[in-house]
A and B are shown apart, each in its own frame.
Chain A
Amino acid sequence: MPQRADAAALSYRDCVSAKIKCLRYYRQQKKRVSRDRVSLLFMGDNDMISQLTSTERQYALVILVLMSLCGLVMAAGGRGDPLGVHGFVVLAFSVGLAFVLISGFYAPQPDPEQQTQYYDDPTKVGIALTMAWAVFGMFFGVWVASLLAWPDLTFDQAWSSFGRMRPVHTTGVIFGFGGNALIATSFHVLQRTSRARLSDQLSPWFVLFGFNLFCVLAVSGYFMGITQSKEYAEPEWYADIWLVIVWIVYFAIYLRTLARRKEPHIYVANWYYMAFILVVAVLHIVNNLAVPISFGSAKSYSLFSGVQDAMTQWWYGHNAVAFFLTAGFLGMMYYYLPKHAGRPIYSYRLSIISFWGITFFYMWAGSHHLHYTALPQWVQTLGMSFSAMLLVPSWASAGNALATLNGAWHKVRDDATLRFMMVAAVFYGIATFEGSFMAMRPVNALSHYTDWTVGHVHAGTLGWNSMIVFGAFYALVPWLWKRESMYSPKLVEVHFWLALAGAVVYVFAMWNSGIIQGLMWRTYTENGVLAYSFLDSVEAMHPYYIARAFGGLLFLTGTIICSYNIWMTVRAGKALATDNDAEGDIPVFARNAVQAGE
Chain B
Amino acid sequence: MAKNATVWEVFIQSKNGLAHKHAGNVHAADKIMALENARELYTRRNEGSCIWVVKSSEIVSSETEDSEAFFDPSNDKMYRHPTFYTMPEGSKHI
A and B held together in a complex? no
